[in-house]
Chain A
Amino acid sequence: MPLYTLISKDFYNEDARDANWYKQNRQGFEGAEKAFEMSPEDIISEVKTSNLRGLGGAGFPTGIKWGFVPKDSGKPIYLAVNADESEPGTFKDKYIMTWDPHRLIEGIIITCWAIKAHVAYIYIRGEYVRPYEHLQRAIDQAYEEGILGDKVMGRDFKLDVYIHRGAGAYICGEETGLLESLEGKKGWPRLKPPFPAVVGAFGSPTVVNNVETIAHVPEIIKQGGQWFADLGCEKNGGTRLMCVSGHVNKPDVYEIQLGTPLYELIYDHAGGIVDGKKMKAVIPGGSSAKVLTAEEADCDCSIEALQAAGSMLGSGGVMVMHEDTCMVKALQVITSFYAHESCGQCTPCREGTGWLLRTLNRLLRGDGHPSDVDTMLDLSGNMQGTSICALSEAAAWPVESFILKFREEFDYIARHGRSMVAEKQSVPA
């Protein structure tokens, strides 16, 4: 399947940052106009029809999430747009915010109309300085043009959009950690239930959606949910942005229709493996997804297909490793990230991530012991299903999958004190 340009059309097009250009050339804000003619319930059912699933990682059906907001709680309802994008290997949301911010704003308007929210927060990753500046400029312009504010696009609908900058913590991408941080507290994930749709920001119902999810909403309203659903595959509608990185010739963001084969994405669109080498492994959905061997990776890009293959589509961060990659070193890089980012709230994650990292460091130093491999495998098992949020699992899955699928490399380094693969890293510039 060829690449599709539903929301990635204007990447690298500086003109698209202007609201009026967006209006004139992309039928901008027509989706919002159409949405205002519809009832909120109709919008939600349209989004349900579209099979739009959360694109931040968990893949929860968006329309159903919106439907969870209680009708008569008497409290204000908030929309929190998750722009924390901190999963390693993921860099799609910053493209949307940098190059096409008005598409996001239009999506926010439609979503807020659908869930009856009058305030939207965009929680943006603190490291994203340029995307923040472009997005803030776009919001300022939207206020000037009457697109946001007390009378949204001349309608009797009030909507304020605020950007909240994070301070650089992976855990603040977890939806309840994000809400805590938004409230000015330490970004420790909350116990669930209640879920944010019932008790979210400031104790009020809150819908938390990823930037890309929201950016898809205008086209769904403009062209219809069924049209969007037909773009993708069963249960998983539309297109999505895939971030391809690692040992490929053309690492970039590619918009694909869901159901496109993973091999096609890597070999046709991303230009294949550098130096014509063989592919060894792929992490298909951000660093917390389980690694796939080259054989296992022969599947389609969709939530269901990747689940069947034993991994997940996650945030769409495809990381490709060629044959010369030392899997022990690769795992150490991933694990050091999780050890650094564990929030320290629950016992298994706080202690487990640090323990795994120190064991991997010792293996790489050449001080390993043959029993270390089994210990790590056991620890990663003990970290699963025992903590408040999914970070513990996100840290454990790579360890488990790397060891199960590339066990001989771990056993070798534990016994011999050196890597089985001669390291010849050649990451393209």
Chain B
Amino acid sequence: MPTLEIDGQEVQVEEGSTIIQATEKLGIYVPRYCYHPGMSIAGSCRMCMVEVENMPKLAIACYTPVSDGMKVSTTSEKVLKGRRDMLEFLLHNHPLDCPVCDQSGECDLQNFYMEHGRYQSRFVENKFKKRKAFPIGPHVVLDQERCILCTRCTRFSDEVSKSHELGVFNRGDRSVIDLNPGKTLDNPYSGNVIDICPVGALTEREFRFQCRVWYLSTEESVCPGCSRGCNISIHYNQRRGYKAGGRRLQRLKPRFHPDINTWWMCDEGRFGYGFADQNRFEFPMLRLDGELQYAEWDEALDKAADTLKQAVDEHGAGSIGVIASPQLSNEELYLADKVFRQGLGVENVGFENPWQKDGFSDDFLIKGDKNPNTRGAREMGWDGDIKAILEKAASGEIKVLYLFLHDFAEEEAQALLDKAGTVIFHGSNQNHSSAKSDLVLASAVWAEKDGTFTNFEGRVQRFKAALQPLDESRRDVDILLDLAQRLGQQLVYNNAEDLFMEWFGMTYQDMNPQGENIENRGGSMPPPSSGSAGEQPSAN
């Protein structure tokens, strides 16, 4: 293992590492455009140049291999001049339309120029005109003038998505990024090019002009879109409520995890957050005169508890069916288990929608199971025959059906629900099942609560609450605890973390393997039985 010196600090790195990897180990950030650790080295932006002792020219940190005893400077006069010169060249044909550019605020051209740029412009020529702001796919808009030709996006489409949509056309300063003939940027991972574009050349159609990035707050989360459990950040806006039609959740971005999703996430997950702000139950509802109408929480919970109690008292626990959901967190499933199975003695349980077929999947990230916590629900023993439960409900054997989240849209299910007795719908969004219910307990979506999901390979991963529950809706744990109280059960938990503590035996804080890795692992743990987080192999 060679030892080298960077800016006076010694560091030991693996044989064959590059200088940029060594700087990263020391926490030194070298400005870069074309370098991305997830793709091949282009070495063309010339921004990451560093000075190496005994080398006549500046060396690019992304490609130059380390050697024993090497002395590197990332801050020498020569290096700073090199960066200043490259930035001057890069801005030479850049339109400088920052005031109307969506990337403004998270643009590496802005960031590096503020730090290293040459503030006295020497450029008086006319800029080269290229094509501006045109869609190249369902999610991405391209602005060729803003492009600095780092080729991250073309390498992404060649090496990661392997769909080869993008290429570089023409030569010299007429070079442009464009779609290859006959192609559209519509691969299942197209949104990633927006993240890796260091400038405003590739922007998101959904997010364009919705919100300035400096109004956004972020929170670490896990994608609820499938059982892969990609690590993500939720970008939300609560300071400009009048913008974007009141949408709070603005966008999702992938968050690095070495074994699950690395730097990427799929479009399905990235753009699948609409349910957090649309079509929501904003308050609990009771069916009066055949229609679901506003109810106070006390009223709704009393009604729910009374119905359940009455059924148990009159017909026994067999008259209650509980259909849990693989969309619920481990904490909620654990609590529901306490309330219904242990508390009331319910045995008619299930969680997997029998009509739901596996969706699109591939051998990269996307899993066919579109639920984030199927494995968690199964491990918690929620398996059961939902069809049988619905049939029992239709036949009158089950009097009260407590239904979490599920959307039973199929005719067969609808017909069974029509015949069922009391249906209590516990969920966040309006759907076909809720339309057939007698009582709605309005719950929070994943972005509004704390919890953990267990992904398909058994990793327990934490997601954090970014938002408050919409309007009067409440977090599921709070709803269930209030219900338990009304059912006369003594359950003493303050929040999801207490439940996690009891179930998993550690606090959320302890989950985060601090300092183990320079990358942010964001609190993801394999199950207690299978060794430490770092050793868990990544499976497909």
Contacts and interface: CB of A to CB of B under 8 A. Distances in A.
B124 A346 contact: no
Interface stretch (A11-19, A241-249, A295-303, A353-361): A353-361
A346 B57 CA distance: 16
Nearest to B172: A342
Q: Bin chain B's interface residue count.
A: 35 or more
B44 A345 contact: yes
Interface in B23-47: 41-47
Q: Chain B's interface: helix, strand, loop or mixed, by majority? A: loop
A340 interface: yes
Contact of B89 (A186, A359, A375, A382): A382
A359 B128 CA distance: 14
A381 to B, nearest CB: 9
Q: Bin chain A's interface residue count.
A: 20 to 34
Contact of A339 (B49, B63, B173): B173
Contacts of B46: 346-348, 386-387
A201 B148 CA distance: 29
A334 interface: no
A173 to B, nearest CB: 14
Interface in B44-93: 44-47, 49, 56-58, 63, 82, 85-86, 88-90, 92-93
Nearest to A346: B44
A344 B168 contact: yes
Contacts of A382: 85, 88-89
A351 B92 contact: yes
Interface string A50-88: 000000000000000000000000000000000000000
A387 B167 CA distance: 21
Nearest to B122: A375
B360 interface: no
A369 B124 contact: yes
A388 interface: yes
Contacts of B85: 348, 382, 386
Contacts of B63: 191
A84 to B, nearest CB: 15
A352 interface: yes
Contacts, number: 91
A66 to B, nearest CB: 26
Nearest to B125: A358
Nearest to A371: B122
B126 interface: yes
Contact of B90 (A351, A362, A388): A351
B154 to A, nearest CB: 10
Nearest to A171: B171
Given A354-B93, A375-B122, A347 B41 contact: no
Contacts of A348: 46, 85-86, 89
Interface in A287-346: 339-346
Of B41, B43, B167, B170, most buried by chain A (CB within 10 Å of CB) is B43
A340 B172 CA distance: 6
A114 interface: no
A351 B122 contact: no
Of A342, A351, A353, A375, most buried by chain B (CB within 10 Å of CB) is A351
Contacts of B41: 191
B417 interface: no
5 contacts: A191-B41, A339-B172, A351-B93, A351-B173, A382-B88
